[in-house]
Structure 1
Amino acid sequence: MELENYDEFPQRLPLIIEDEIFLYPFMIAPLFLDSDENISAVEQAIEENKLVIVAVSKHGKEGKRDSDSFYDVGVIGNIMRKVALPDGKIKVLFQGLAKGKITDFDDQNPIRCEVNILENQEFNEESVNSEISVLIEHVKKLSRLNSKFPADLIKTIEENDDATRIADLISSVLKVKKDDAYKLFSQTDVEQRLLDIIEVIKKEIESFKIQKEITQKVNSKIEKTHKDYFLKEQIKAINKELGTDNKKDEEIKAYKKRLKKLKTSMPKDGYKETKKQIEKLSRMHQDSPDASLLQTYIEQVLDIPFGEYSDEKISVDNVEKQLNKDHYSLEKAKERILEYFAVKQLLEQRNVEDLKSKGTVLCFVGPPGVGKTSLANSISKALQRPLVRVALGGMEDVNELRGHRRTYVGAMPGRLVKGLIDAKKMNPVMVLDEIDKLGANHRGDPTAVMLEVLDPEQNHEFRDLYLNFAIDLSQVIFVSTANDARRIPAALRDRMEFIHISSYTPNEKYHIAKDYLIPQELGKHGLNKSEISLSKPTIEAIISKYTREAGVRNLRRVFSKLFRKAAKKILSDNGASKVSISTKNLKSYLDNPIFEIDPADKKNAVGIANGLAWTAVGGDVLKTEAIKLKGKGILSVTGNLGEVMKESSRISYSVVKVLIDSGILKIDDEIIPKTFKEKEENLKVDASEVYKRYDIHLHIPEGATPKDGPSAGITMALTIASILSNREIQSDVAMTGELTLSGKVLPIGGLKEKLIAAHKAKMTKALIPKKNYERDLEDIPDEVKKSMEIKAVNTIEDVLKEALL
Structure 2
Amino acid sequence: MSDEVDQTDHTSDSGDDRPLSIPDEIPVLPLRDTVLFPDSFMPLAVAREASIRLIDKALAEDQLVGVFTQREASIEEPTQDDLYSVGTITHIHKMFKLPDGSLRLIVQGLARVSLKTIIETDPFIRAAVSSAEESVSDSDHLEIDALQRNINNNFQQIVSLSPLLSDDLQALSGNITDPGKLTDFIASSLTTLATSAKQEILETLDLRSRMDHLNRILIKELEVLELGSKIQSEVQSEVGKNQREYLLREQLKAIQKELGETDDQAKEIEELREKINTSGMPEAVQKEAFRELDRLSKMPPAAAEYTVSRTYLDWLVMLPWNLRTEEKIIDLARAKETLDGDHSGLDKAKDRIIEYLAVRKLKPDTKGPILCFVGPPGVGKTSLAKGIAASLDRKFVCVSLGGMRDEAEIKGHRRTYIGALPGQIIQGLRRAESKNPVFILDEIDKLGTDFRGDPASALLEVLDPEQNTTFRDHYLDVPFDLSEVLFITTANVLDPIAPALRDRMEVLELPGYTEDEKAVIANEHLIARQIDNHGLSSEQIAFTEDALRFVVRGYTREAGVRNLEREMGALCRKVARRHAEGDDSPITITSEAVVEMLGAPKFLDEEVAERTKQPGVAIGLAWTPVGGDVLFVEATRMTGSGSLTVTGHLGDVMKESAR
Q: TM-score range by the shorter chain?
A: 0.5 to 0.7
Deviation at 1:418, TM superposition (A): 0.8
| Mapped partners of 2:282, 2:605: distance in 1 | 59
Q: 2:323 aligns with which of 308, 314, 336?
A: 308
Q: 1:253 aligns with which of 250, 265, 270?
A: 270
What code does the residue aligned with 1:291 have? Y
Alignment of 1:296 onto 2:311: yes
**Which deviations, in whole Å up to 9, do the C-alpha atoms of 1:229-253 show, x marking residues without a partner?**
9998899589956xxx254333322
Deviation at 1:412, TM superposition (A): 1.0
**Which deviations, in whole Å up to 9, do the C-alpha atoms of 1:61-118 show, x marking residues without a partner?**
x9xxxxx99xxxxxxxxxxxxxxxxxxxxxxxxxxxxxxxxxxxxxxxxxxxxxxxxx
| Mapped partners of 1:231, 1:292: distance in 2 | 28
| Mapped partners of 2:259, 2:467: distance in 1 | 49
**C-alpha RMSD over aligned residues:** 3.5
Alignment of 1:270-669 (within 5 A): 270-312=285-327, 313-348=329-364, 353=365, 356-357=366-367, 359-573=368-582, 576-596=584-604, 599-602=607-610, 604-627=613-636
What code does the residue aligned with 1:600 have? V
What code does the residue aligned with 1:579 have? I
Deviation at 1:578, TM superposition (A): 1.5
Change (3 A) 1:611 1:527: same
Which residue in 1 is equivalent to 2:65? none
Q: Please give the secondary structure, in 2, of the residue aligned with 1:585.
A: helix
| Mapped partners of 1:318, 1:650: distance in 2 | 61
**Which deviations, in whole Å up to 9, do the C-alpha atoms of 1:404-457 show, x marking residues without a partner?**
111111111111011111111101000110001111111110111111111111
Change (3 A) 1:398 1:530: same
**Which deviations, in whole Å up to 9, do the C-alpha atoms of 1:753-794 show, x marking residues without a partner?**
xxxxxxxxxxxxxxxxxxxxxxxxxxxxxxxxxxxxxxxxxx
What is the TM-score with the length of structure 1 in the denominator?
Answer: 0.47
Change (3 A) 1:373 1:634: same
| Mapped partners of 1:333, 1:464: distance in 2 | 31
Q: Please give the secondary structure, in 2, of the residue aligned with 1:499.
A: strand
Q: Please give the secondary structure, in 2, of the residue aligned with 1:255.
A: helix
Which residue in 1 is equivalent to 2:28? none
Q: Based on CA coordinates, which of the two structures has the bigger radius of gyration?
A: 1
In 2, are the aligned partners of 1:403 and 1:466 still within 8 Å (CA)? Answer: yes
Deviation at 1:360, TM superposition (A): 3.6
Deviation at 1:316, TM superposition (A): 3.5
Identity in percent: 40
What is the TM-score with the length of structure 2 in the denominator?
Answer: 0.57
Count of aligned positions = 415
| Mapped partners of 2:255, 2:490: distance in 1 | 56
What code does the residue aligned with 1:495 have? R
Which residue in 2 is equivalent to 1:191? none
**Which deviations, in whole Å up to 9, do the C-alpha atoms of 1:354-381 show, x marking residues without a partner?**
xx22x54111111111000111011000
Q: Please give the secondary structure, in 2, of the residue aligned with 1:615.
A: coil
In 2, are the aligned partners of 1:546 and 1:596 still within 8 Å (CA)? Answer: no
Deviation at 1:270, TM superposition (A): 1.3
| Mapped partners of 1:277, 1:589: distance in 2 | 66
| Mapped partners of 1:436, 1:495: distance in 2 | 14
In 1, are the aligned partners of 2:379 and 2:513 still within 8 Å (CA)? Answer: yes
Q: Please give the secondary structure, in 2, of the residue aligned with 1:485.
A: coil
Change (3 A) 1:502 1:633: farther
| Mapped partners of 1:398, 1:306: distance in 2 | 24
Change (3 A) 1:597 1:310: farther
Q: Please give the secondary structure, in 2, of the residue aligned with 1:527.
A: coil
Change (3 A) 1:637 1:368: farther
Q: Please give the secondary structure, in 1, of the residue aligned with 2:632.
A: strand
Change (3 A) 1:650 1:267: farther
| Mapped partners of 1:300, 1:596: distance in 2 | 58
Identify unmatched segments of 5+ residues in structure 1: 1-61, 63-67, 70-220, 655-694, 697-805
Deviation at 1:582, TM superposition (A): 2.6
| Mapped partners of 1:483, 1:625: distance in 2 | 32
What code does the residue aligned with 1:384 have? D
- Comparing 565-574 with 457-466, greater Cα deviation is found at 565-574
Change (3 A) 1:521 1:626: same
Q: Please give the secondary structure, in 2, of the residue aligned with 1:322.
A: helix
| Mapped partners of 1:271, 1:573: distance in 2 | 67
- Comparing 443-452 with 282-291, greater Cα deviation is found at 282-291
What code does the residue aligned with 2:586 have? K
Q: Please give the secondary structure, in 1, of the residue aligned with 2:363.
A: helix
In 2, are the aligned partners of 1:534 and 1:582 still within 8 Å (CA)? Answer: yes
Alignment of 1:234-253 (within 5 A): 240=260, 245-253=262-270
Change (3 A) 1:636 1:595: farther
| Mapped partners of 2:614, 2:603: distance in 1 | 24
**Which deviations, in whole Å up to 9, do the C-alpha atoms of 1:112-148 show, x marking residues without a partner?**
xxxxxxxxxxxxxxxxxxxxxxxxxxxxxxxxxxxxx
Change (3 A) 1:291 1:548: same
| Mapped partners of 1:239, 1:529: distance in 2 | 72
Change (3 A) 1:528 1:285: same
Change (3 A) 1:246 1:507: same
Q: Please give the secondary structure, in 2, of the residue aligned with 1:618.
A: coil
Alignment of 1:167-182 (within 5 A): none
| Mapped partners of 1:230, 1:336: distance in 2 | 60
Change (3 A) 1:476 1:635: farther
In 1, are the aligned partners of 2:369 and 2:486 still within 8 Å (CA)? Answer: no
**Which deviations, in whole Å up to 9, do the C-alpha atoms of 1:261-303 show, x marking residues without a partner?**
23xx423221111112222222323333322222222111111
In 2, are the aligned partners of 1:570 and 1:579 still within 8 Å (CA)? Answer: no
Q: Please give the secondary structure, in 1, of the residue aligned with 2:535.
A: coil
In 1, are the aligned partners of 2:571 and 2:594 still within 8 Å (CA)? Answer: no
Change (3 A) 1:627 1:409: same
Deviation at 1:593, TM superposition (A): 3.5
| Mapped partners of 2:259, 2:312: distance in 1 | 25
Question: Larger relative CO (CA 8 A, sep 6+): 1 or 2?
Answer: 2
| Mapped partners of 2:453, 2:417: distance in 1 | 16
| Mapped partners of 2:631, 2:578: distance in 1 | 40
**Which deviations, in whole Å up to 9, do the C-alpha atoms of 1:461-481 show, x marking residues without a partner?**
110011110100011001100
In 2, are the aligned partners of 1:315 and 1:383 still within 8 Å (CA)? Answer: no
**Which deviations, in whole Å up to 9, do the C-alpha atoms of 1:30-64 show, x marking residues without a partner?**
xxxxxxxxxxxxxxxxxxxxxxxxxxxxxxxx9xx
| Mapped partners of 1:291, 1:372: distance in 2 | 44
Which residue in 1 is equivalent to 2:183? none
Which residue in 1 is equivalent to 2:67? none
Which residue in 2 is equivalent to 1:76? none
What code does the residue aligned with 1:324 have? D
Change (3 A) 1:304 1:230: closer
